[in-house]
Amino acid sequence: MHNLSFFCYGEVGVDNIIQADQLPSPEIAVFPQAESYHIGGAAANTAVWLARMGVPVGLSGNIIGDDLYGTQLQTWLGQHNGLDLAALEIKPATTTPFTRAIVTPDGERSFLIFYYPQTPKSPFSLDMLKGARYLALDLYGGPERIQAAKTAHKAGVQTTIGDVIWPEHEVLPFTDIATNSGSYIRNIFPGVDVHQHARKLQTINKGIVITTDGGDEVFAIDRDGSTFIACPPKVEVLDATGAGDAFRAGLLYGLDKGLDLAASVCWGMATGSLKVGHIGAATTLPAFAEIETLANALIAKGVQPA
């Protein structure tokens, strides 16, 4: 594979999804109904969704091992046509990072995260991109993430970064497209107006800022400062793990196809909505035609000025 449209850099690992009626508490045991294992990590999830939509995408970030999780992960990732794994490093004696996620009946997740911070990372380089126009990046790492954003941005590659919610964050001026979670913003900044917060971020990055909010409205700011609100479809939520990663993939797909921001957000809402009805972030993927049908229906419904 020679030319890429997208490159995803960041978390690559395994998710252990544990389905339970409630979270454990001191002296109160919980008896899960089921557990399962899936591709995990923001970079890997986004890459798999993009590959599913038929666009060439590369993947790298943390190194994975040749242990049980690493071997299984290689098998899963290798099943996706269009996913270039040439830059994904595999090293013996490295522990593949993983997450245990307890998912309750409302689809919400509580995470126990293992080894991601201490797992060695592959240094980012422009050679990895192979002509990619977009870099999808997560911030759940160290200085290598900042360097990746700066390097790509200065080279004219569109940087798409999730959860860059701090106005003073050094990566924000190098973020062309910020995709943030409203609930995460409220947790970090209690009482904040998330729309005003997004506007503050946009005055710094001068790019696109999008705030999702679970099943509620999506608030978007375009590069020129214009704003709109889009309404995702009402769906039954089984597992919200990776919903933001799926949204990011759909958004990027639309932008890469030359759609305006409103239509691209509709593609993001379509992928995110289809994801939450299944267990695992990137295991049960819809056919492209299903994504396209829902995206077109949302485009036809339109967005509202904010």
In the predicted model, what is the mean pLDDT of residues 281-287?
Answer: 96
pLDDT 10s digits, 142-168 = 999 999 999 999 999 999 999 999 999
Cα dist from 143 to 55, 78, 147, whole Å = 29, 29, 6
Tell me which DSSP letter residue 106 carries.
T
pLDDT 10s digits, 173-204 = 999 999 999 999 999 999 999 999 999 999 99
Domains located in the chain, CATH noted? 6-305 (3.40.1190.20)
Q: Scan for tokens 């056919």, then name that residue.
A: 287
In the predicted model, what is the mean pLDDT of residues 56-72?
Answer: 98
Of the candidates 190, 211, 191, the one whose C-alpha atom is nearest the C-alpha of residue 201 is 211
- Check pLDDT > 90 for residue 170: yes
pLDDT 10s digits, 241-276 = 999 999 999 999 999 999 999 999 999 999 999 999
Residue pair 42/179 in contact by the 8 Å Cβ criterion: no
Q: State the DSSP string of 249-291.
A: HHHHHHHHTT--HHHHHHHHHHHHHHHTTSSSSSSS---HHHH
> What mean pLDDT, rounded, does the chain reach?
97
- Check pLDDT > 90 for residue 108: yes
| 120: confidence class by pLDDT, cuts 50, 70, 90 | very high
Using CA atoms, how far apart are residues 121 and 297, in angstroms rounded to an integer?
Answer: 41
Beta bridge partners of 228: 220, 305
Q: Is the pTM here over 0.95, yes or no?
A: yes
pLDDT 10s digits, 23-48 = 999 999 999 999 999 999 999 999 99
| 85: confidence class by pLDDT, cuts 50, 70, 90 | very high
- Check pLDDT > 80 for residue 131: yes
pLDDT of residue 1: 52
